[in-house]
Amino acid sequence: MGCFECCIKCLGGVPYASLVATILCFSGVALFCGCGHVALTGTVTILETHFSKVTSDHAMLTDVIQLMQYVIYGIASFFFLYGIILLAEGFYTTSAVKELHSEFKTTICGRCISGMFVFLTYILGVAWLGVFGFSAVPVFLFYNMWSTCAAMRSPIANLTNIDSICVDVRQYGIIPWNATPGKACGSTLGEICNTSEFYLSYHLYIVACAGAGATVIALLIYMMATTYNFAVLKFKSREDCCTKF
């Protein structure tokens, strides 16, 4: 067998679906975790500077954000390992690999492991759908503030009293109703929208939401790949049983 034929045969053993899903999963998780972590820090800065100047009013929110940042570290580590494991599982269960190794035999343990990956990937897919929906919430909140600032700056609006236009973050349940000042109006609101923290956090939340969406797509591809791999293992096990008689 020549070098070219050998390379073609080796390339045929690559699980391209799992490979694409792994790259997409790593990219999505990296965007979600990295951008989300920085955006949460910027959100705390905005709240402490402009909406809740008393530390005790937003102490619980600060603790929750810090907890979410630690959870982000765990998510990044887990999906780094899980993506590598699924990619390795794809290499060893793809049908092309079975053609390369004619003595490939399935075992009950192997089929159970493959079935476990199918179940776990489905659970993670459903969980990340929730994460994707949750990551859209800060995008919605920041968009409302940004659109309000854009309306104030628009010459078409013809506003006579911009101080009557306010954004009250207390109505979203982010901070308690007794927080001071709790809202920003007029020129103060415009100054907030012009700060680097607001601009950076808003766009980072958008990228983090996109990263969560990419992770959902990656898990969908993983679902199809792992389900196919499990079906091939089941078929191979039946084939082995039939050849014994």
Residues 6+ apart with CB under 8 A from 123: none
Residue whose structure tokens are 């990956």: 117
Radius of gyration of the chain (CA): 26
In this prediction, residue 114 carries a pLDDT of: 74
Q: Which of 235, 154, 180 is nearest to 53 (CA)?
A: 180
Instruction: Quick: pLDDT tens for 104-129.
Output: 555 666 667 777 888 888 999 999 99
17 has a pLDDT exceeding 50? yes
In this prediction, residue 167 carries a pLDDT of: 84
101 has a pLDDT exceeding 60? no
91 has a pLDDT exceeding 50? yes
Rounded alpha-carbon distances, angstroms, from residue 50 to 36, 99, 122, 127: 21, 65, 42, 34
pLDDT tier, 216 (very low <50, low <70, confident <90, very high otherwise): very high
pLDDT tier, 100 (very low <50, low <70, confident <90, very high otherwise): very low
- Asked whether 35 and 200 are in contact (CB, 8 A), the reply is no
4 has a pLDDT exceeding 70? no
pLDDT tier, 132 (very low <50, low <70, confident <90, very high otherwise): very high
Instruction: Round to whole Å and give the CA distance between 33 and 237.
Output: 40
The token pair that represents 216 in the structure block = 């959902």
* Whole-structure pTM value: 0.82
In this prediction, residue 174 carries a pLDDT of: 80
Instruction: Quick: pLDDT tens for 45-59.
Output: 888 888 887 777 778
pLDDT tier, 222 (very low <50, low <70, confident <90, very high otherwise): confident
Alpha helical stretches, state H, 105-195: 108-153, 186-193
In this prediction, residue 205 carries a pLDDT of: 94
Q: Which amino acid is at 194?
A: N
In degrees rounded to 5, what are phi and psi of residue 13? -90, 5
The token pair that represents 116 in the structure block = 């476990």
Which residues in the chain belong to E strands, given as ranges?
166-168, 183-185
187 CB burial (10 A radius; 0-12, 13-18, 19+): exposed
pLDDT tier, 242 (very low <50, low <70, confident <90, very high otherwise): very low
pLDDT tier, 11 (very low <50, low <70, confident <90, very high otherwise): low
Who wins on pLDDT, 101 or 130? 130
In degrees rounded to 5, what are phi and psi of residue 105? -130, 140
For the chain, helix, strand, coil in percent to 5 are: 80, 5, 15
In degrees rounded to 5, what are phi and psi of residue 107? -125, 165
In this prediction, residue 97 carries a pLDDT of: 47
